[in-house]
Chains A and B, each alone.
Chain A
Amino acid sequence: GQNIDQPTEMTATEGAIVQINCTYQTSGFNGLFWYQQHAGEAPTFLSYNVLDGLEEKGRFSSFLSRSKGYSYLLLKELQMKDSASYLCAVRDDNNNDMRFGAGTRLTVKP
């Protein structure tokens, strides 16, 4: 079957670092996306990985290991506004559709 798993909820402290993991089992792999979704708002694109390794974009980094079916999103210097859901999505072989995980709700506390 096809599974994309990520933790349901995480809590972290303002100024800290948090790592949100995503594991996947899909029919083929054509890239992995991370999206951020604030409550009541549209998901917004954060990152795309198709090759192994780390992609850094300011305070956010995303890592991919295709052999392990594993990715993580790393958020540094957490700010209160980072409180949101983070969605992991994998593009598979079926028409290159995106398969989403259920999302990880991150709460940043002072």
Chain B
Amino acid sequence: ETGVTQTPRHLVMGMTNKKSLKCEQHLGHNAMYWYKQSAKKPLELMFVYSLEERVENNSVPSRFSPECPNSSHLFLHLHTLQPEDSALYLCASSQDYGDFYNEQFFGPGTRLTVL
């Protein structure tokens, strides 16, 4: 495997379910990110981890809970979601966090539908 992978690619869940999204990067990067991409809206940065420490939480509801057990893996735990949370959830990684030129490499995303 190369680059950034995400599983599952598609997820349908009810509002009372608990599910987790998984991201894995094979690039040896130190920073990982979760973004939300809704139709016709800009990508929204949700969480940032640098060296497994959370460095940003951009006013995201507590029904989204991130976890970064090591620098290669990032999870997004989902609980009691709302229909408006339906979106494409993208994971990204970069060599380091906070540098000017810090290209981010994106995974293919998980298409989440909340019924």
Residues of A within 8 A of B (CB): 4, 8, 30-31, 33, 35, 40-45, 48, 50, 87, 89, 91, 95-103
Contact = CB atoms under 8 A, between A and B. Distances in A.
Interface stretch (B60-68, B76-84, B101-109): B101-109
Contacts of A31: 100-101
Contacts of B105: 42, 45
B27 interface: no
Contacts of A98: 45, 104
29 contacts: A8-B40, A30-B100, A31-B101, A40-B109, A40-B111, A42-B90, A42-B105, A42-B107, A43-B90, A43-B106, A44-B106, A45-B103, A48-B103, A50-B101, A87-B43, A89-B43, A91-B102, A95-B48, A96-B97, A96-B98, A96-B100, A96-B102, A97-B56, A98-B104, A100-B42, A100-B43, A101-B42, A102-B42, A103-B42
Contact of A42 (B4, B41, B101): B4
Contacts, number: 56
